[in-house]
Amino acid sequence: MQFGLILTNQHPPGESQAEKFNDTIEMVRYARDLGFDLITFGQHFLLNEFQAIQPAIAAARLAAEAGTMRIGLTIYLLPLLNPVAIAEEAASLDVITNGRFIFGIGLGYREEEDNAFGLSAGERVPKLRAHLDVIKKLWTGVPVDYESSYCRLKGATMALRPVQQPHPPVWVAANNDRAVERAAEIGDTWVINPHATLATIARQMGLYRAALDRYGKPFPDELPLMREICVAESRDAAMRLARPSLEQKYQAYVAWGQQRALPSDDDMTQAFDELLRDRFIMGSPEECADEVQRCIEETGANTMIFRVTWPGMPKEGVLQGLRLLAEQVRPRVS
C-alpha cells in the first residue's frame, strides 16, 4: 500500500506566496522523512479565490527535496495546452526526478480556463485524445503529423526522451461515468478524484472494469484514490482544525462548477455537514484508519493520495496531522 499527498499550491490572496511555498518545502521534507511514497499537484489558471503557482515549476523545485518519493502532476489540463510544450516539459521532469515522474491528465471544467486558451464547446475530449497521442509519439520517437490552429507538425520528432520507457505512467482523472470509461481506454490507470462519495466511486469501479475488458486491457498494477483527510486527537479536534479551510475550498469548487463534472446523483452543493458524509475522512487515528481501510476494500485502490491541508489552514496543525497519518494511521491499514 502506497501513501502519498496532494500538495496544496493555493493560498488566500494577501498571504505571502513565497512564505507559503517555503512551508511547502518544509512539508515535503517532513513527508519524505516520514516515509511517504509520492507527492502530487493539480493545475488551474486564472484563479481569484486563491493565488496559485504553476505545478510543473513547483515540482521541479521540490524534486530536490523529495528523496525517493515519486512526483506527479495530477493533473495537466491537457486540452488547453500545446502538446509539444508538455511533451518536452514532462520528459524534462522525468529526467530531473530520475524516472519518478507521474504524468496525470484531465479535461478541466472551468469556462474561464477554456476561454483563456481559446477552447470552444465540444473540443475538450477531441483535444485531450489528440494531444496525448502527439505527446506519446514524441516521447517514443515516432514522427508526428498534426495540424491545428496553434500547432503544426509534419514528421516532427524530438531527441529528448523520458527516463521511463516507453513513457511515464499516464494517469487519467475522471469524474463522470463516460470519463471513467475513457480513462480505461486511453490511460495506464484511473486517478480517482477526492470529490465523489465512496458509494459513487464503488459503482464506477464496475464501469471501469467493464471498459478495461472491452479494450482488452488488464486491471492496472496501481490504482490511485484521492481523499481529503484530517487526522487529529479526536473527531472534534479534526473538525475544528480543518472545517473552516475545507468548507471554503468546496464552496470555491461549487462556484467553479466542479459539481457539473460529477454524476448527477452525487450532489456536491450540499451544506458542509451533509457533504462530509462518505466523502471526507476526519477524526482520530483509529477512526481515520477505519475509513481508509473501507476506501481500500470498496474500491481496490492500492495507492492512497491524501490532501491534508487547504487554503488558510495553520501549518502546525497540518504537520501534526501528517505525522499522525504516517505513524498512527498507516500502520493500521493493510
- 127-151: average pLDDT: 97
Q: Whole-angstrom Cα distance, residue 121 to residue 80? A: 12
Q: Render pLDDT for 292-323 as a digit per residue (tens, 0 to 9).
A: 999 999 999 999 999 999 888 999 999 999 99
pLDDT band for position 254 (cuts 50, 70, 90): confident
Q: What is the pLDDT of residue 24?
A: 95
CB atoms within 10 A of CB 298: 14
Q: Render pLDDT for 192-237 as a digit per residue (tens, 0 to 9).
A: 999 899 999 999 999 999 999 999 999 999 999 999 999 999 999 9
Assigned CATH topology for domain 2-332 = TIM Barrel (3.20.20)
pLDDT band for position 286 (cuts 50, 70, 90): very high
Q: Render pLDDT for 13-35 as a digit per residue (tens, 0 to 9).
A: 989 999 999 999 999 999 999 99
Q: Render pLDDT for 77-131 as a digit per residue (tens, 0 to 9).
A: 999 999 999 999 999 999 999 999 999 999 999 999 999 999 998 999 999 999 9
Q: What is the pLDDT of residue 291?
A: 96
Q: Whole-angstrom Cα distance, residue 44 to residue 75? A: 9
Q: What is the DSSP string of 239-303?
A: HHHHHHHHHHHHHHHHHHTGGGGS-TTS---S-HHHHHTTTEEEESHHHHHHHHHHHHHHH--SE
Kind of pairing, strands 224-231 and 70-77? Answer: unpaired
Give this prediction's pTM: 0.94
Side-chain half-sphere exposure of 64, counting CA atoms within 13 A: 7
pLDDT band for position 262 (cuts 50, 70, 90): confident
Percent of the chain with pLDDT over 90: 84
- 39-43: average pLDDT: 95
Percent of the chain with pLDDT over 70: 100
Q: What is the pLDDT of residue 8?
A: 82
Q: Is residue 261 over pLDDT 80?
A: no
- The one-letter code for the residue type at 144 is V
In sequence order, what are the beta bridge partners of 281? 229
